[in-house]
Structure 1
């Protein structure tokens, strides 16, 4: 069901003041690895006085990007960041701060690994935010591609899909799991007297 064309209900006129756009893209590389890219841009719709001067409307407050290179096991092989616009010159001092993430694996504990390896003043809060959510894009890219390839070859994907039990639609006692993955369906306690 698609609700994206709906306008949020409001009873009063509004003026847009701030826009944050974030985009994630997943790429399969010829060398067998994967690049997951994230880009963030913040800008205001009015001129803003900042500690370093006047920032004109539509000019980026933040504009940064990350490329995370992963293997099939979702282990970080390389990472790079680009900070095209930052509010302060000192922000650029941490542009290479993500390198300690090499060797970390996306999965349980991913956010904890980010905090432990590049938390606090070791990096940039916006880069950490992008990195944390790169995990979802990686999971949408890599396991999904592999599952589609397996289906194309007429094989049945093995094991329990990672997304089962992770949201309301894919709850283990729900009708979707019962229909599509009956082998993993777990009736709720209410269904079992």
Structure 2
């Protein structure tokens, strides 16, 4: 269902963000993210001079290479368009993310390594959702390969990470009942004090 019709307005700014997932020939995975900010009007910036409409204010990308467990093995960045020359200092701090795992605690790991003025705000924003893109890429493709090979699905001892973290994946809901009936109504075990 589309959004309701808007009030009369003027389009001023577009932020385009794209994520892509790849399976590499060496068995690792590349998750890429790109961010572009453009204006519909001309800008004049002290650092960049006159910028016609549609000229990127920000144009940045990240490639995170991860293993099957979503642990970052390598990371590369590009910053072709930035508002300040100093923004280029944001490349090197990204190496602090090598060894981090995209999963529980991901956003906290990003903030510890790159928060505040330790890194680039826009690269950090791209990292936040890279874990989701990795999750959309890797388990689904591995499931696809198992099905193609005629292999059975692994038996799960606990629900996948996404179960219980979304209204559709509510442990008491119909989707969990259909896809993971063994975890319908699931409650994590409580540790004894």
Same fold (TM over 0.5): yes
1:4-153 matches, within 5 Å, as: 6-10=2-6, 12-52=7-47, 53-152=49-148, 153=150
In the alignment, is the contact (CA less than 8 A) between 1:147 and 1:157 conserved in 2? no
1:185 is aligned to 184
In the alignment, is the contact (CA less than 8 A) between 1:36 and 1:138 conserved in 2? yes
Unmatched 5+ residue regions in structure 2?
Answer: 188-193
Q: Distance in 2 between matches of 1:174 and 1:108?
A: 23
Q: Distance in 1 between matches of 2:186 and 2:91?
A: 49
Q: Offset at 1:84?
A: 0.6
Q: Offset at 1:181?
A: 1.4
In the alignment, is the contact (CA less than 8 A) between 1:150 and 1:157 conserved in 2? no
Unmatched 5+ residue regions in structure 1?
Answer: 189-193
Q: Distance in 2 between matches of 1:176 and 1:50?
A: 51
Q: Distance in 2 between matches of 1:17 and 1:124?
A: 24
Q: Offset at 1:107?
A: 0.7
2:163 is aligned to 164
1:191 is aligned to none
Q: Distance in 1 between matches of 2:143 and 2:186?
A: 26
Q: Per the alignment, in what secondary structure is the counterpart of residue 93 of structure 2?
A: coil
Q: Offset at 1:37?
A: 0.2
Q: Distance in 2 between matches of 1:8 and 1:88?
A: 38
Describe the superposition over 1:104-159 as per-residue Cα deviations: whole angstroms up to 9, x where unpaired.
11111111111111222221000000011101000111111112223332402332
Q: Distance in 1 between matches of 2:13 and 2:177?
A: 43
TM-score w.r.t. length of structure 2: 0.89
2:152 aligned residue (147, 155, 170): 155
Q: Per the alignment, in what secondary structure is the counterpart of residue 15 of structure 2?
A: strand
Equivalent residues, number: 183
In the alignment, is the contact (CA less than 8 A) between 1:66 and 1:81 conserved in 2? yes
Q: Offset at 1:187?
A: 8.0
Q: Distance in 2 between matches of 1:35 and 1:187?
A: 33
Q: CA RMSD in A?
A: 1.7
CA distance 1:94–1:125, change in 2 (3 Å): same
Q: Per the alignment, in what secondary structure is the counterpart of residue 144 of structure 2?
A: helix
